[in-house]
Each structure stands twice: as structure tokens, then as C-alpha cells.
Amino acid sequence: MLAELVITPWHWAGFVVCVLLFLAFDLGIFHRSAREVRFREALGWTAVWFTLAMGFAALIFRAQSQEKAALFVTGYIVELSLSMDNVFVIALIFRYFQVQPILQHRVLFWGIAGALLMRGLLICAGAALVHEFRWLLYPLGAFLVFTGIKMVFVNNDGIEPERNPVIRLARRFLPVSPRPEGQNFTTSWQGRWALTPLAIVLLMVETTDLVFALDSLPAIFGITQDSFIIFTSNMFAILGLRSLYFVLAEALEYFTYLKYGLSAVLVFIGAKMVTAPWVAIPTNLSLGIVAGIILVAILASLVLTRQRRQGD
């Protein structure tokens, strides 16, 4: 049997370069000009990102172990599922600011680019802290249980930019043009440089992802403390978020019960972290439980929503 591959800085650098190339091809070739992304195209890109993620899992399986590959897939499913909740909030932001469909891809592209950077920094900081202070996993587990329970009772239907501290600071210290300038984030207004309303939308998307990251990243640490697995599974989930948005944006009402599944996933992972010294749950079993919860929540949403519409 071949020895397990040891991850080196070269592997990290190679993966980051691939991500940057993906982003460059996306904006520089496939979406050079602003245009509306259709459902079929978005579905195709969603399939591409999912295939790439599973291909990467196969590489991990061959180069390292089945255990590491299962950890990657579990982390990817958890982060992608939690990102679906983020998709719903982004849709509300676009509706609130009345962002035209032709401009949504550009906002999401730069929003995803910023999210990749923020997630990378948070993962590095979190991995260093957990490595130094192992006991942090227990309060993080308790936090996940609390977050999962809170998710059931908190309604995210209200978008209030005036209460967002980043937006308030931007409007207070930076000039903001009252009129949109197409796909531009900056413009010249009253003889000086200024942000456009589209830049305010981008700031809302970025801060929303930061809030979601603070909730979702502890979940991945409950699955594994391998920083390379954490980083790569997060990056693949975020890269697929943009196309996933265009797939789900027109079908949000069909996923009414998804948040209950996400809540159950967070509670399960949090409980797993807290009880780890006494209860050892195999990786494959964790993967099955997480995937099963998400699948049941999606199917229940589709079936119950359809029945409710037929009843009306």
C-alpha cells in the first residue's frame, strides 16, 4: 500500500493558483460582459463545480485515504448546504435594492472573491487557535448547538441596510452617488470619486457572508481539524455558490423547510464536538447522517410545498 501523501506548502499554493485561474476564466472569458444568467447555464455550472469537487475528493482518496476523502465530502456538503441559506438572504438583498438580473452575476463574482479571501483568513486563524487550544472545540460545539436551535426561531426575511454597521460607515465617510452607473462600483459624482449604489449592494453581500461564515466555520471544525481539508472543502462550496444562486433564486418558496434540516445538522455536529471524548462517531456514519438530514429536508420542502399549493 502506498504511503499517504503529506500535504506541503506546494500543494496549498497549487490549489490557490487553480482557484485564481477558475475565477480569471469565469470573469475574463465566460462572463466578460454583464448579462443575465439563465437557469440552464447556471445548472450546468453547478454540475461542473460539483463534479470538480467530487473529482478532488477522488484525488484525496487516491493520494491520502478513504477517511480523508470522506471528511472532505462531509465538509463540502455541510458548507454547501449552509451556503444555501446564504443564497436566500442574497436574493432578498437583490430584491430590496432592485438589482437588475443583468448585474447580479458581477456582484456575486466579486462577493465570492471577497468571501474566498475572508474564509481563507478565518480558516487559518481558526486552525491555529484550535491547534494551540484544543479545548476551544467544546465551546464551539456548544455554540453550534445554540446556533442550530436559534435558526429555527429567527426569521431572515427582513433586510435592513441602515442597521448594517459597514454600510453605515461607508455612507458616513465615503461619498455615495445617488444614481446607478451600470456595472461599475465607482463613479465620478459632483467632481469627485464616489461609490455607486451597486457598491453598497456588494458591501451588503460581503458582510452577510462574513456573518454566515462565523456560524458555518465552527461546523467544519467539528468534522475535522485538518486545515487543508477545511480550506479546500470551503473553497469548493463557495466557488459553486454563485451558480447555485441562479439555480435556486426563482425557487426559494420551494425550500421552506430547509432551515430545519440545516438546524438539525448544526445541532448534530455541535453535539458531536461536545461529546467527542465519550462518543466516537465514524466519519462515514457522520457523512450519511448529514447527507440524510439535508436530503430529507429538501424532499420534505418540495413535497409539502407542492401539497400546499395544490390545496390553495
- Each domain of the chain, given as residue ranges in start order, spans 18-311
- pLDDT at residue 83 is higher than 90: no
- Residue 200 grid cell: 453598497
Cβ atoms within 10 Å of 173's Cβ, excluding its own: 7
At 183-200, the pLDDT tens digits run: 888 888 877 888 888 888
Cβ atoms within 10 Å of 51's Cβ, excluding its own: 10
Nearest to 256 by CA among 312, 304, 293, 309: 304
Helix axes 39-63, 227-239, angle to 10 degrees: 160
- Beta strands, E only, 129-250: 186-189, 192-195
CA–CA–CA angle 280, 283, 286 (5° rounding): 85
- pLDDT at residue 37 is higher than 80: no
Among 58-67, 148-157, 202-211, the range scoring the smallest mean pLDDT is 148-157
Residue 90 and residue 208 in contact, taking contact as beta carbons nearer than 8 Å: yes
At 197-239, the pLDDT tens digits run: 888 888 888 888 887 777 777 888 888 888 899 999 999 988 8
Residue 131 and residue 139 in contact, taking contact as beta carbons nearer than 8 Å: no
Confidence band, pLDDT 50/70/90 cuts, at residue 69? very high
- For the entire predicted model, the pTM comes to 0.85
